[in-house]
């Protein structure tokens, strides 16, 4: 397949925020943050970069726990929502509206998190370069956490199409996998109760455990551990996720 350039500029929009991000249960976010803290074990007042932060659900919880947060997302609407929520909770978060590919930090952060299958948006070359940029942004001895869906699990239990009833109407998702490029295409169609339909498309690179580890090695990041889910179990071939903890 030919990779649709910059698909994410259309895919991540107000509807995505309302349909997906606003419906993530707070208990799910808290469980993820607990996992982050358990595996990274950050010291008090650590500097943490939340890359591809979305509306900042992880950043807000981590800031409440006293960590110095920098949160980056390319969509200004999401960043503005995070700023509003931070002010409401009287939290200090350094928010940046920026394409992740243009980050230029050096020895800045104790930890960097890339959550919720946010790694893999770009070309293979750009994804590899981004991992090197993440390494450069870390302080010596700093760690990053890369959280993606496990390609082998996804293909084992691949779902071609789903319809789900929502409060606004219906959500249709059609999925296709392209083995030559290891890309997962999702066509998402929302149908309102008035019959109005809108569609967006995601084309993301999905990874197996060995691919993430090989890319990390090329970026000169050392593997600390690889987990298979947020419950802390180690990653196996058919674990739902590949969550790599890497060290500079």
Residue 186 backbone zone (phi > 0: left; psi -120 to 50: alpha; other: beta): beta
The CA distance from 171 to 163, in Å, is 6
SS3 17: helix
The CA distance from 4 to 33, in Å, is 33
Question: CB neighbours (10 Å) of residue 222?
Answer: 11
pLDDT at residue 3 above 70?
no
Q: What percent of the chain has pLDDT over 70?
A: 98
Give pLDDT, residue 1: 53
Residue given tokens 């996804």 in the structure block: 154
**CATH code, residues 8-149+207-247:** 3.40.50.150
Q: pTM, whole model, 2 decimals?
A: 0.95
- What element of type H or E holds 169? strand 169-178
Pull the structure tokens for residue 230.
Answer: 């947020």
pLDDT band at residue 205 using 50, 70 and 90 as cut-offs: very high
Region 4-12 average pLDDT = 84
Give pLDDT, residue 167: 80
pLDDT at residue 166 above 90?
no
Pull the structure tokens for residue 12.
Answer: 């991540």
């Amino acid at each position: 397949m030919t990779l649709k350039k910059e698909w994410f500029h259309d895919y991540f929009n107000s509807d995505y925020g309302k349909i997906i991000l606003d419906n993530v249960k707070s208990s799910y976010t808290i469980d993820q943050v607990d996992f982050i803290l358990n595996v990274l074990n950050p010291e008090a007042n650590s500097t943490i970069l939340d890359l591809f932060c979305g509306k900042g659900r992880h950043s807000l919880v981590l800031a409440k726990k006293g960590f110095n947060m920098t949160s980056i997302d390319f969509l200004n609407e999401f960043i503005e929502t995070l700023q509003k929520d931070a002010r409401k909770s009287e939290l200090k978060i350094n928010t940046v509206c920026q394409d992740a590919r243009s980050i230029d930090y050096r020895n800045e952060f104790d930890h960097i998190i890339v959550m919720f299958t946010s790694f893999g948006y770009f070309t293979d070359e750009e994804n590899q370069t981004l991992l090197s940029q993440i390494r450069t942004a870390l302080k010596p001895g700093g760690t990053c956490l890369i959280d993606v869906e496990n390609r082998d699990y996804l293909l084992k239990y691949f779902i071609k199409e789903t319809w789900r009833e929502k409060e606004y109407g219906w959500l249709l998702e059609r999925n296709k996998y392209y083995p030559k490029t290891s890309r997962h295409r999702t066509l998402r169609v929302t149908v309102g109760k008035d019959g109005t339909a809108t569609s967006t498309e995601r084309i993301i690179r999905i990874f197996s455990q060995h691919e993430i580890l090989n890319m990390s090695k090329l970026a000169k990041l050392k593997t600390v551990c690889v987990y298979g889910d947020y419950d802390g179990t180690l990653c196996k071939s058919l674990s739902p996720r590949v969550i790599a903890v890497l060290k500079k």
